[in-house]
Amino acid sequence: MKKYYLLLFTLLFSLTLFSCSDNSVGTSNDELDECFGTSIPFPATATITACIGRQAGSDLIRGAVFEPGISWSETLKFFSDNYSSGRWNLVKEDIPTTTAGERTAEWDIIGPDFDVLISVTAFGEGSSTFMVGTIGMYDSGVVN
């Protein structure tokens, strides 16, 4: 099992090293906007390491793997703050109380035209924390 996590960590770390982003801090990310074809709140410091889009029947599903480019606490605050008001309805927020080791935070959001699911996993602690996240955008009705 440890070999599986080591392989996963190595793969994700390699993807992050081969990607680059020159965005400044803010709530819009050009890479994600291009991937999704629309603008949603997302750390400008984040690096997109993979982007997918596919048609599933009449539903268009888009997803991305990313590295936030900000600390664990800043990541939690960013997604909680930016998806809890305005045109967004934050229906689920699962934030772990641990600040070290492996931990995952998740947000399920209903938007005006589509739903957004976000998950960020962190490994380690302090300045040696490595994080990877996934974000998915789905036609409305996925999040309940």
DSSP string, 75-99: HHHHHHHHTSSTT-EEEEEE--S--
Band of pLDDT at residue 26, cut at 50, 70 and 90: low
Domain for residue 144, yes or no? no
Domain for residue 41, yes or no? no
Cα distance between residue 129 and residue 105, in whole Å:
14
Burial of 86 (0-12, 13-18, 19+ CB in 10 A): exposed
Q: Give the tens place of pLDDT for each residue, 42-54.
A: 999 999 999 998 8
The model carries a pTM of 0.77
Domain for residue 30, yes or no? no
Cα distance between residue 117 and residue 44, in whole Å:
18
Domain for residue 91, yes or no? yes
Spacing of C-alpha 76 from chain mean position? 11
Q: Give the tens place of pLDDT for each residue, 30-80.
A: 888 888 888 899 999 999 999 998 877 777 789 999 999 999 999 999 999
Q: State the CATH number of the domain containing residue 71.
A: 3.30.310
Domain for residue 95, yes or no? yes
Domain for residue 26, yes or no? no
DSSP 59: E
Per the structure, how many domains does the chain have? 1
Domain for residue 115, yes or no? yes
